[in-house]
Chains A and B, each alone.
Chain A
C-alpha cells in the first residue's frame, strides 16, 4: 500500500514537531522562573506587546462591538427581543470575541515581529554571539518575551472588552434608539464574573502561544533572509491556529457542564 508511506511520514513528522516544541516550551518556561531575570527587558517587551498593540486591538474591538449590536438587532427584532442586545454584546465580547480577536491581531503584529527579530539574530550569528558572551538566549531573549506576553495580553483584552462593549453601546444608542441608562444597567446586570475571568485566562494562554511561536520559529530559522521570511509566516499561522484550538478547549473547560 504505497499511500500509507507518506501518511506515516506525515504522522512521524507531526510527532517530531510536537516533541521539539514541547522541549522548547518547557525550557522557555523553566527559564522564566530561574535567575538571572531581566526586568528592563520584560518591561520593554510589555510596552512592545501591550502599548503598541492598543490602536490595532482598540479599532478591532470597537467595530466588532458595533457590528455585533447591529446584527443582533436584525435578528432579534423579528422576535421583538431587542432588549437582549446588551446581553448578547457583553457575553460574546467578554467570552469569545475580545480574547480571540485581540489574540489574532497581536499574533499578526507581535508574533511576526518576534520571529523576524530573533530569526535575524539567528542567521547573523547574534545568538551564537550571546552564547559566547556567556549569556543564555533563553533567559535573555525568550523568557522576557514570554513573560511579557502572558502578563500583557489579559490587560489588553480587558481594554478590548471595554471598548467592544462601548462600540455596541454607541450603535444601540445612536442607531437603534436604546435608552442609554437602561442599556448600561442591562449590560452591568448581564455581566458575569466567570465570563470575564474565562476571557482573561484565554488571554494569558494566547499571550503564551503567540510569544512562544514567535520565539520558536525565529530561534530555529535557518538559511538567510528566506528562512527568516518563512519563520515569520510560520509563527503567525501556527499561533493563529493554536489560538483558535485552545480557545475551544478553554471554553469547553469553563462552560461545559
Chain B
C-alpha cells in the first residue's frame, strides 16, 4: 500500500510493533503496529476511550506497555530507565490536552522550563527564547509574568505549544490540540501547529477526534479501533477510502462495524 511506498523514501522516526497494553482485564491496545516517518505529520483518529491517549503515553514512556516494541530513531525505548529515557525525551515536545502548565510558575518560566532544567541554559538567555516562542504563538511580552490561572484555555494551549517547541525538539506530540476550543481558536492552534512543525522540520504525532483539525494538520491519518490501527493512509484518501470503519467514523454514522458499547463490561469481554 501507500505505506510501503513511503518507507522506501523516508526513514522511520517512530516504529511501533505489537504494542499491547491492558488495565486489569480491559485490553486497550492489542498488538498495534504503526510507523511515523521522518518529517511527516501523522494524526491518529479514533473514538473516545479507544486508547489514543494510552498510545501516546506509551510512546512518551509515561506508561509501560505490557508487550511490544517502540523504536525512536531505531532505539528501543520500551524498558528504558531514568536517565536514558530522559535523553530520548530531550528531543521531544509535547502539548497536553489541557496544556498542563505548571501553575506554581509564571508563563515565561513555563515556556523556559525545558531550556533551564533539562538543557541547563542560563536564566536571561532562556527568558529571551521564551519571549520569542511566546510571540511565535501570538502572545506578547506582557503575558510573560502572568500566572497560568489568569489565562483562558485557548491561551493556555498556546503557551503549552510555546513550551513544547521551546527546546527545538525534533519530534512533537499533540494530545487533542483543539478539543474544547471554539472553531476559530481551534483553527488558530492548527495553523500554529503546522507552522511550528514546518519551522522546526520536526516529525509530528497528533491524536484527536476532531476530523476537521485532523485534515488540516496531517500528511497521513491513521484510525485506531479495537486496540489496532484499522486504517492508515494519506490525508487525501480518507474521503474516498472504502474502509468501513473510516467511513462510519468520519461520517458519524450509527450503522457500521464500530460498536459503541454502553457498558464497560462489554469492552472487557471483547
Q: CB within 8 Å of B: which residues of A?
A: 117, 121, 124-126, 128-136, 140
Cβ contact within 8 Å between A140 and B117: yes
Does B66 make an interface contact (CB < 8 A)?
A: no
Complex CA gap A128/B89 in Å reads: 12
Cβ contact within 8 Å between A128 and B114: no
Known: A124-B98, A125-B100, A126-B102. Is A134-B61 also a contact (CB below 8 A)? no
- By size class, the interface of chain B is 20 to 34
Complex CA gap A126/B100 in Å reads: 5
Cβ contact within 8 Å between A134 and B86: yes
Count how many pairs of residues, one from A and one from B, have CB atoms less than 8 Å apart in the complex: 56
Question: What are the 5 closest A-B residue pairs judged by CB atoms, nearest first?
Answer: A134-B118, A125-B100, A132-B94, A129-B100, A133-B114
Measured between beta carbons, the chain B residues less than 8 angstroms from A132 are: 60, 62, 89, 92-94, 173
Does B113 make an interface contact (CB < 8 A)?
A: yes
Complex A-B: 6 CB contacts under 8 Å: A125-B97, A130-B102, A134-B92, A134-B114, A135-B114, A135-B117
Cβ contact within 8 Å between A133 and B117: yes
Complex CA gap A128/B60 in Å reads: 9
Q: Looking at A124, A125, A129, A136, which has the most chain B CB atoms within 10 Å of its CB?
A: A129
Does B215 make an interface contact (CB < 8 A)?
A: no
Can you add 6 more A-B contacts, CB < 8 Å, to A128-B62, A128-B100, A134-B89? A121-B102, A126-B100, A132-B60, A134-B92, A135-B86, A136-B86
Cβ contact within 8 Å between B96 and A128: yes
Measured between beta carbons, the chain B residues less than 8 angstroms from A121 are: 102
Complex CA gap A82/B104 in Å reads: 54
Complex CA gap A43/B163 in Å reads: 26
Q: CB within 8 Å of A: which residues of B?
A: 57, 60-62, 82, 86-87, 89-90, 92-94, 96-98, 100-104, 113-114, 117-118, 163, 173
State the Cβ distance, A162 to closest chain B Cβ, in Å: 33
Cβ contact within 8 Å between A136 and B82: yes
Known: A128-B57, A128-B62. Is A133-B100 also a contact (CB below 8 A)? no
Known: A134-B117, A134-B118. Is A129-B94 also a contact (CB below 8 A)? yes
Measured between beta carbons, the chain B residues less than 8 angstroms from A131 are: 60-62, 89
Measured between beta carbons, the chain A residues less than 8 angstroms from B82 are: 136
State the Cβ distance, B205 to closest chain A Cβ, in Å: 13
Complex CA gap A124/B87 in Å reads: 24
Complex CA gap A133/B118 in Å reads: 7
Measured between beta carbons, the chain A residues less than 8 angstroms from B61 are: 131
Measured between beta carbons, the chain B residues less than 8 angstroms from A128 are: 57, 60, 62, 96, 100
State the Cβ distance, A48 to closest chain B Cβ, in Å: 11
Complex CA gap A63/B104 in Å reads: 36
State the Cβ distance, B159 to closest chain A Cβ, in Å: 12
Complex CA gap A117/B102 in Å reads: 11
Among A117, A125, A130, A136, point to the contact of B98 (Cβ < 8 A).
A125
Cβ contact within 8 Å between B90 and A134: yes
Residue of A nearest to B83 (CB): A136
State the Cβ distance, B106 to closest chain A Cβ, in Å: 15
Measured between beta carbons, the chain B residues less than 8 angstroms from A130 are: 102
Measured between beta carbons, the chain A residues less than 8 angstroms from B93 are: 132
Measured between beta carbons, the chain B residues less than 8 angstroms from A117 are: 104
Measured between beta carbons, the chain A residues less than 8 angstroms from B92 are: 132, 134
Cβ contact within 8 Å between B102 and A129: yes
Cβ contact within 8 Å between A135 and B100: no
Complex CA gap A132/B101 in Å reads: 12
State the Cβ distance, A35 to closest chain B Cβ, in Å: 11
State the Cβ distance, B19 to closest chain A Cβ, in Å: 18
Complex CA gap A125/B56 in Å reads: 13
State the Cβ distance, A185 to closest chain B Cβ, in Å: 50
Residue of B nearest to A120 (CB): B103
Measured between beta carbons, the chain B residues less than 8 angstroms from A140 are: 117
Cβ contact within 8 Å between A124 and B118: no
